[in-house]
Amino acid sequence: MDSLRGRLDRCSINTATLGHREPLSLTIDRIARAGFGGVAPWRHELDAANLDDIAKQIRALELTVTGYCRSTYFPADTAAERAAAIESNVNALRQAAQIGAQCFVLVVGGLPAGSRDLSAAREQVAEGVAALCGEARRLGVRLAIEPLHPMYAADRSVINTISQALALCQVIEPDGADVLGIAIDIYHCWWDPQLAESIQAAGDAQRIFAYHVSDWLPNTRDMLLDRGMMGDGVVDLEHIRGLVEHAGYRGLVEVEIFSKERWWTTAPDEVLQMCAGRLQSVC
């Protein structure tokens, strides 16, 4: 595994790391000026901007779009709601294609309101993801299922391990990785006793499409909005990157930190400077 020292071109910033405090065009400029090779924007940011202008800006700055965040949740009470979610995701896929995103990140959704049927929710996810594959293939945009920590199973994702995500990929796309794969986010998977085996299996299947880093704070105060800067928590970041790259991943390392009280209240350029230092020293 090569060091990231002096290789910010191999690193990307998910715009959530800066707290969505500025227009997307300003955020993209900051990330490029700081020397990073990639960016991963969010839909609500792009919806508030001019899509053509953002696409031109990204190309002019020669940034890699490591991912486009994120899908509308698939599970819902009614067929009409599920169809609307698929339509929303198809529209997002078209945006992802226009900005040259390497993948569209699928955070698949939790249980519909009032439901206790986890199996049914997972079946709806499978149906929804399968419904996107044809359009994704036509547009040339890969779909990256991002398994989330089990604490989010009720409201954000019923897919909670790399192994689960891989099994879903192989059921929907059994003849090999064409458009369907996985986004590995260490915040969600670092705890998994089967982490090494699951990463290797995903790599063997050529389904690792994205790799996200932050850190897990042992005294976290909010399970969504208190992620740690790399090196401030308990995750062995170098070890996990070694597993991911040994499994065949050659893409960029993407920083994605939700931190309402700490990093989202820090000046954006200072956040980027800290990300750069930690990527090169502890990742």
* Distance (Å) of CA 47 to CA 13, 52, 104: 19, 11, 15
Tens of pLDDT, residues 155-210: 999 999 999 999 999 999 999 889 999 999 999 999 999 999 999 999 999 999 99
pLDDT for 176 equals 87
pLDDT for the residue numbered 177: 86
Separation CA 160–CA 151 (nearest Å): 9
69-92 pLDDT tens trace: 999 999 999 999 999 999 999 999
* Element holding 276 (H helix, E strand): helix 268-282
Q: CA-CA distance, 244 to 2, in Å (whole number)?
A: 12
Tokens 């309402």 sit at which residue?
A: 260
Question: Could you read off the pLDDT of 88-109 as tens digits, one per residue?
Answer: 999 999 999 999 999 999 999 9
**Mean predicted confidence (pLDDT) in 118-123:** 98
CB-based contacts of 217, cutoff 8 Å, min separation 6: 226, 227, 228, 232, 233, 234
Task: Note the pLDDT of residue 73.
Answer: 98
Query: Would you identify the CATH topology of the domain 8-282?
Result: TIM Barrel (3.20.20)
Listed by start position, the domains of the chain span 8-282
What percent of the chain lies above the pLDDT cut of 90? 99
Task: Output the six-digit token pair for 43.
Answer: 């839909």
Give the pLDDT confidence of 22-43 residue by residue, as tens digits: 999 999 999 999 999 999 999 9
